[in-house]
Amino acid sequence: MPELNAKIPSGPLKDKWTQHKAHIKLVNPANKHKYNIIVVGTGLAGGSAAATLAELGYNVQVFCFQDSPRRAHSIAAQGGINASKNYPNDGDSIYRLFYDTIKGGDFRSREANVYRLAEVSGNIIDQCVAQGVPFAREYAGYLDNRSFGGAQVSRTFYARGQTGQQLLLGAYSALMKEVNKGSVKMFPRTEMLELVVVDGVARGIVTRNLVTGDIETHAADAVVLATGGYANVFHLSTNAKGANVTAIWRAHKKGAFMANPCYTQIHPTCIPVHGDYQSKLTLMSESLRNDGRVWVPKKPQDKRNPRDIPEEERDYYLERKYPSFGNLVPRDLASRNAKEVCDEGRGVGPTGQAVYLDFADALKRSGKAVLAERYGNLFDMYEKITGSNPYDEPMMIYPAAHYTMGGLWVDYNLMSNLPGLFVIGEANFSDHGANRLGASALMQGLADGYFILPYTIGDYLAGVKAGKATTDIPEFKEAEKYAKEKINRLLTIRGKRTVDEFHRELGLLMWNQCGMARDEKGLKEALSRIFEIRNEFWQNVDVPGSGTDLNQSLERAGRVADFLEFAETMVYDALHRKESCGGHFREEFQTPEGEALRNDNHFCYVAAWEFNGVGKEPVLHKEPLDFEEVHLAQRNYK
């Protein structure tokens, strides 16, 4: 197999992006309107990309399954967005943000991509402020910063606990400005079902209008997927209910490589599971770990009220094990340690699957008003959901599936191995390695959309003859026919189990066997169980209603069908990676202290999988990761 070429520019790390921008091809401003670009997804990445491409003069068509582009799941991001502005004067720099991100990702990401991300991080804050994003400010009128996991500087900009909402509304407003000008055509309540590939080149998509059920085809000179992550493969996750793998999975089936799908992030601070009807897990922002202290009782099965447990009988295990980062260790470490203490029988709450996040000391130190200013909306949300008041009692938290570092493989230009198919934001695999640091997802989504893709897509389009996009070719008819047949098949099974029942079964299996900790035996069992669940799905699922109107069961059925195929690829990836790194923890590979044990000699590469048929082991392609700037080291947060 030929090695994948990531097309990383030559030259010193700090000059790569500048040099690349100076030398890539450009599309003449007068010709830009002749190029059609499809953008699927309107989160931070898709929204910002679509707006910026339209500003540049391209003809842009934008699709989202929600009723409005303003609702994409980026909106739920709470804590903040990183940028190496060094406004607090605490020693931050582009290099430090780059290094923290590489190290946080457990040395499994591309140096050049991560450096570029750190380089443009400051521009993002400038852009958002200019759009009217109301970031938190100090009394002097300047922006406030806070710290986040995996960093020892305060570089996180925030807007109360709703940073994602405010950034997304900024991108949405930029997008609507272009809709108003007529340079963007918006297709809400429309789901992408197929990618159309002609002679190996991405040429368009097939969609379903979720209100009328109409199957439609759209041609373009380039297709941009910004469709988010696949954490809902676990059924219970912090993702929105509609978040799905469908767009990237169907592109994968048409030839796009899926990279590192086993790198999934389990967020340490979520409200624990409390019933089998549960539809989602709610995240409590990582920023809470700035002031909250994580602890469990020292004794197993200690059922006393937390306030009756004296200080000396509590184990502040993160502070004990990692004195220099304390409660602000990266997410993978915080999650795994929570699992460990619960496995030892020291978990709290009715299920024993929870740990305390206690604000008593911070309340004493700073007072209720200050905490309310920082976290008021999070505390209120916690109380609404659980009925318990975190000002009086410690919160109970437990890890939950939250973000997926894996995704479609892209080169330095954010283009997949299929020419014309670009993938941005969480949907690609690019910048976070095996673990993402807090407040970096918003940064990556907006970096890709505002400041990277708009340049790199021009380099591709400059080599494409404009105005050739047409749906009037057999490949579109075939893809349309295939999409229709799949819908008909789902509607005619009329079995005995609901779509949600299958999703729950798959999710629990993936959580237990391919979640926070994995081993060979469990992964092999998972492979055979996924096969069985998928087979039963296609014989026994009941999808009521018709295909010619709004049918939410049908929408879910299509997405769960894709999760049932995708899950296998994720497990194959986890099985093949015989090392532990970041969010991928293989029980067999750990240090004597129980930390992730990487194997740099054998696994210092991106695993990019080529589709080889449903149920068949995909074909592995490797992109070696060369570290020129940083020295590979065992992560140390002690």
Residues 221-240 contacting other proteins, CB under 8 A: 240
Residue 68 touching other proteins (CB under 8 A): yes
Query: Of the two residues 324 and 546, which places its CB atom closer to other proteins in the complex?
Result: 546
CA distance 184 to 600: 46
Query: Of the two residues 19 and 68, which places its CB atom closer to other proteins in the complex?
Result: 68
Residue 85 touching other proteins (CB under 8 A): yes
**Cβ-contact 458, 28 below 8 angstroms:** no
CA distance 385 to 9: 49
Query: Of the two residues 132 and 467, which places its CB atom closer to other proteins in the complex?
Result: 132
Q: Residue 504 catalytic?
A: no
**Cβ-contact 232, 244 below 8 angstroms:** yes
Residue 520 touching other proteins (CB under 8 A): no
**Cβ-contact 268, 435 below 8 angstroms:** no
Which of 5, 93, 279, 612: binder of other proteins (CB under 8 A)? Answer: 279
Which of 8, 21, 24, 55: binder of other proteins (CB under 8 A)? Answer: 55
Residue 132 touching other proteins (CB under 8 A): yes
Stretch of 125-133, 332-340, 408-416, 427-435 contacting other proteins, by CB under 8 A: 125-133
Q: How far is the CB of 124 from other proteins (least distance, A)?
A: 9
Sheet harboring 201-209: ordered strands across?
Answer: 190-198, 201-209, 215-219
Residue 101: in which H helix or E strand, if any?
helix 94-104
Q: How many residues bind other proteins (CB under 8 A)?
A: 80
Which of 7, 33, 185, 280: binder of other proteins (CB under 8 A)? Answer: 280
Residues 296-335 that bind other proteins (CB under 8 A): none
Q: What CA–CA distances, in Å, run from 288 to 158, 375, 497?
A: 13, 7, 40
Residue 576 touching other proteins (CB under 8 A): no
Segments in 265-397 forming alpha helices (H): 317-321, 331-343, 360-366, 368-386
Nearest partner of 410 among 395, 389, 426, judged by Cα? 426
Which of 2, 140, 492, 601: binder of other proteins (CB under 8 A)? Answer: 140
Query: Of the two residues 180 and 301, which places its CB atom closer to other proteins in the complex?
Result: 180
Residue 553 touching other proteins (CB under 8 A): yes
Q: Is the dihedral of CA 481, 608, 244, 427 positive or negative?
A: negative
In the shown chain, the binding pattern of residues 438 to 457 toward other proteins, with x for contact by CB under 8 A and - for none, equals: ------------xx--x---
**Other residues' Cβ atoms within 10 Å of the Cβ of residue 139:** 6
Residue 143 touching other proteins (CB under 8 A): yes
Residue 76 touching other proteins (CB under 8 A): yes
State how far Cα 540 lies from the chain centre. 31
Query: Of the two residues 88 and 419, which places its CB atom closer to other proteins in the complex?
Result: 88
Instruction: Give the CA-trace dihedral at 262, 415, 84, 125, to 10 degrees.
Output: -110
Q: Letter for the amino acid at 487? A: I
Instruction: Give the CA-trace dihedral at 131, 135, 139, 141, to 10 degrees.
Output: -20
Stretch of 220-228, 270-278, 605-613, 630-638 contacting other proteins, by CB under 8 A: 270-278
Residue 123 touching other proteins (CB under 8 A): yes
Nearest partner of 205 among 610, 566, 479, judged by Cα? 479
Residues 522-551 that bind other proteins (CB under 8 A): 542, 544-545, 549-550
Q: How far is the CB of 255 from other proteins (least distance, A)?
A: 30
Stretch of 220-228, 274-282, 411-419, 429-437 contacting other proteins, by CB under 8 A: 274-282
Residues 178-207 that bind other proteins (CB under 8 A): 179-180, 186, 188
Residue 22 touching other proteins (CB under 8 A): no
Query: Of the two residues 161 and 438, which places its CB atom closer to other proteins in the complex?
Result: 161
CA distance 130 to 128: 5
**Cβ-contact 339, 520 below 8 angstroms:** no
- Which residues, in sequence order, are bridge partners of residue 249? none
Instruction: Give the CA-trace dihedral at 529, 531, 532, 534, to 10 degrees.
Output: 120
Catalytic residue (one of 71, 331, 556, 586):
331
Residues 283-302 that bind other proteins (CB under 8 A): 283
Residue 80 touching other proteins (CB under 8 A): no
Residue 67 touching other proteins (CB under 8 A): yes
- Which residues, in sequence order, are bridge partners of residue 154? none
Residues with catalytic annotation? 331
